[in-house]
A and B are shown apart, each in its own frame.
Chain A
Amino acid sequence: MTRIPNIFVTVGTQLPFDRLIRTVAGWHSRNPDIGVSYIVGDTKLKAKDFGRGETHTRLTSKPYDQHFSAADLIVSHAGMGTIITAAEAGKPIIIMPRRADLGEHRNDHQLATAEKMTRLQNVQRVDTHDELVKALDQFILTWSDNDTAKSSLSADATPELLTAVRNFIFEGRSG
């Protein structure tokens, strides 16, 4: 039997982002066996809304790192820091950019960040409740596949980078 996957959800600690939190919590209530922990920031949701989920208003860096590294999937607002940390760790991350017109941020810079970061293989961008639910379902469906085979310590860089490095190493050699 495969291990139960862990999902770490973070929307930072500043502005509320209940559209994301509520969607994950709703999904979790239909998939209660999955391990989900949250940094909920400033939220209107109540403890009961999170079911079995573990919630934190904020985390200091050490427990944050522990949650992050224990996670098999990160779900996050389109914050640069979180995306980069996931990229460095080679960990899959679903990002939902905050929208100014919904009062989720002062401006739409997260849309630009999301646009830019979607180029990374580990990043999946969603914009709506339905897209996020679908992405979470998809993650669970493919879970046994990416359990170990795609772990951050065994995966490869892009073919372009591997070729550039290889050509440099073996420059001037026929073999």
Chain B
Amino acid sequence: MTALRPPRVLAVASGGGHWVQLLRLRRAFDGADLHYASTVRDSARHVSPAPFHWFPDANRDTKLKLALSALIVFWIVLRVRPDVVVSTGAAGGYFAIRFAQFFGGRGMFIDSIANAQNLSKAGALALGKADRTLSQWPEVAAATGAEYHKGVL
């Protein structure tokens, strides 16, 4: 019998609240071959010695920046080749999940706790595309078809 290698996980979040929420999932990553990606370079120190990859933040309003962000996320996925992507948003996490799926990986999108009334834009895109899409609010999950397993708080 051969021992399975640990799954390679790419944990992705934009800076600020998304990143704080991702860090609250750390315990779920125990035993994985873990990489992080985020938009604030300084965040690397929160997760050291795990490998950290930076990508530029993108606002949906600026198409060029969004495309650049997607391109760099694609490059990160290409290098890391994750078996699993877990993201707490926003756009960068959605991109990472879609690109990882292209290479045979799986992705879970956990919509930010900030979205108490509706799914975010990225969450709505992830729904039906990501292998799993979760809302942290039971009312939002019920209204959209997202899953609900409580939340980061």
Contact = CB atoms under 8 A, between A and B. Distances in A.
A173 B9 contact: no
A140 B27 CA distance: 29
Given A88-B16, A168-B106, A173-B7, A162 B25 contact: yes
Given A80-B116, A88-B16, A116-B116, A165 B7 contact: no
A4 to B, nearest CB: 24
A155 interface: yes
Nearest to B136: A161
B20 A152 contact: yes
Contacts of A101: none
A140 to B, nearest CB: 22
Interface residues of B, number: 38
A166 interface: yes
Contact of B84 (A121, A158, A169): A169
Contacts of A175: 4, 6, 31
Given A165-B28, A168-B106, A169-B9, A88 B150 contact: no
Contacts of B23: 153
Given A88-B16, A121-B153, A169-B86, A157 B24 contact: yes
A139 B25 CA distance: 26
Interface of B: 4, 6-7, 9, 16-18, 20-21, 23-29, 31-32, 46, 84, 86, 106, 108, 110, 112-114, 116, 131-132, 134, 136, 147, 149-153
Interface of A: 80, 84-85, 87-90, 116-117, 120-123, 152-153, 155-158, 160-166, 168-171, 173-175
Given A164-B149, A165-B86, A169-B84, 18 more contacts: A85-B17, A87-B113, A88-B18, A88-B113, A89-B17, A90-B153, A123-B153, A153-B23, A156-B24, A157-B152, A158-B153, A160-B150, A161-B28, A163-B149, A165-B110, A168-B84, A168-B132, A175-B31
